[in-house]
Amino acid sequence: MGFQIFLDNIVFNIQKFGGASTYWNELQKRFVKLQGINIIVQSEQQKLHQQVQTTGTDVKFIIEDLLPPSISRYLPLTKRLPAKSLYHGSYYRTCLQKNVVNIFTIHDFTHKKGLASRFPRKLVHIWLTALGIKNADGIICISENTKRDLMLYFPQIPQHKIKVIYHGVNEDFSPIPKLTGEVFKDSVNLDDRFILFVGKRDGYKKFDIVAETLKLQDDLKLVIVGGGKLTEQEREYLNTNVSGRFIKLDGLNNNELNILYNHAFALIYPSIYEGFGFPVVEAMRAGCPVISNNLSSIPEVGGDAVMMISEISSSAIIEKICLLNQSEVREAMISKGFIQSKNFSWEKCFNETHQFYIDIYNQKFQRRNDL
Q: For the chain, list residues with pLDDT below 50.
A: 370-371
CATH topology of domain 5-168+346-370: Rossmann fold (3.40.50)
pLDDT of the residue at 340: 98
Residue 137 DSSP code: S
CATH topology of domain 183-341: Rossmann fold (3.40.50)
pTM of the predicted protein model: 0.94
User: What distances in angstroms separate CA 26 from CA 271, 286, 350, one per listed residue?
Assistant: 25, 19, 8
> For the chain, what are the domain ranges?
5-168+346-370, 183-341
pLDDT of the residue at 369: 52
Q: Do the domains 5-168+346-370 and 183-341 sit in the same CATH topology, yes or no?
A: yes
pLDDT of the residue at 1: 62
φ, ψ of residue 164 to 5 degrees: the values are -85, 120
Spatial contact of 333 and 324, defined as CB atoms under 8 Å apart: yes
Cα–Cα dist 196/287, whole Å: 13
